[in-house]
Amino acid sequence: MAKPALGRGLGALLGSSPVLSQPTPSPGRPSSATQPDASSPSDAVASGEGLRRVPLAQIRPCPLQPRKDFPPESLQELADSIREQGIVQPLIVRERDGHFELIAGERRWRAAQLLQMTEVPVLVRVADDRTVLELALIENLQRENLNPIEEAQGYAQLVGQFQFTQEAVAARVGRSRAVVANALRLLKLPAVVQDYVRDGRLSVGHAKVILGLATEQAQRAAATRVLQEGLNVRQTEQWVAQRQARESRAAGPAQSPAAAPPDPHVARLENRLRERLGTKVRLRYHRGRGALEVQFFSDAELERILQLLGLPPE
């Protein structure tokens, strides 16, 4: 299935400027990519936005970059490709305090450092912090470079630092609101479980099921069990349902005598509701009767849930 277009996409980064291609240098002939350049950020911006060749030493990483993990093996592969083909797509930068700050292309910048290149092609843009974060997210999402936790942290930064609603985040990056909401929920996991998701030991499907447990201790225990026993998502659902049933029985009088312990089918449906509504959901079911509890934490979130249920404000 084709991926949907993401927000303004890379066109927003590149504008109408063509991509700068760097040919492979001939043997014995120095590449222009390794020649020093006396240009400065002020010189580059003075002539307007556009393609430039600038010293690698004048470029700095951006603290707003959502991607934090750069596996050495992947960087080496990119460096080998650049050695053969050059940097086919320029880095995107902005002027910042006497140097250039990356908007997009940190992997290319790091690979160029491995090759000890002295200059690289860049596209100079004018952008504020919010735009930089948006464009960095868009580029990484289009290239599928972000792990689930990095993606969630990028969304959280747009919500927390720039006061975006979840709907606005979804619109900007070309995702559905439910995708954004479910990504943000991953940040409620204990740090150690987030690390398992970050490095791929746990899938997002596993994480969503584990989020159904009420305490961090239970969530850590579930993650450990999944890793030790190699449980798939369906098996994890069953294990979580069994744990919830034991906890319900241990609660004693707090549990209604007529209520049945949760079973895997109820747990699965509860998880689907949680994903659809993007918030904490509790489903009580016994012989065709029960209750559905949907939690919200602000008026805006209540309004969003009502809209999902087909009840827009009057």
Verify whether residue 95 is a known catalytic residue.
Answer: no
Write the single-letter amino acid at 261: P
Instruction: Determine the angle formed by the axes of helices 166-173 and 148-162, rounding to 10 degrees.
Output: 120
Q: How many helices (H) and strands (E) does the chain have?
A: 14, 7
Residue 314 contacts by C-beta under 8 Å, 6 or more apart in sequence? none
State the catalytic residue, choosing from 73, 84, 106, 144. 106
163, 197 in Cβ contact below 8 A? no
Q: Are the C-beta atoms of 75 and 112 separated by less than 8 Å?
A: no
Q: In what order do the strands lie in the sheet with 99-104?
A: 50-55, 119-124, 91-96, 99-104, 59-60
Q: How far is CA 5 from CA 18, 115, 157, 173, in A?
A: 20, 33, 22, 9
Cite the active site residues: 106
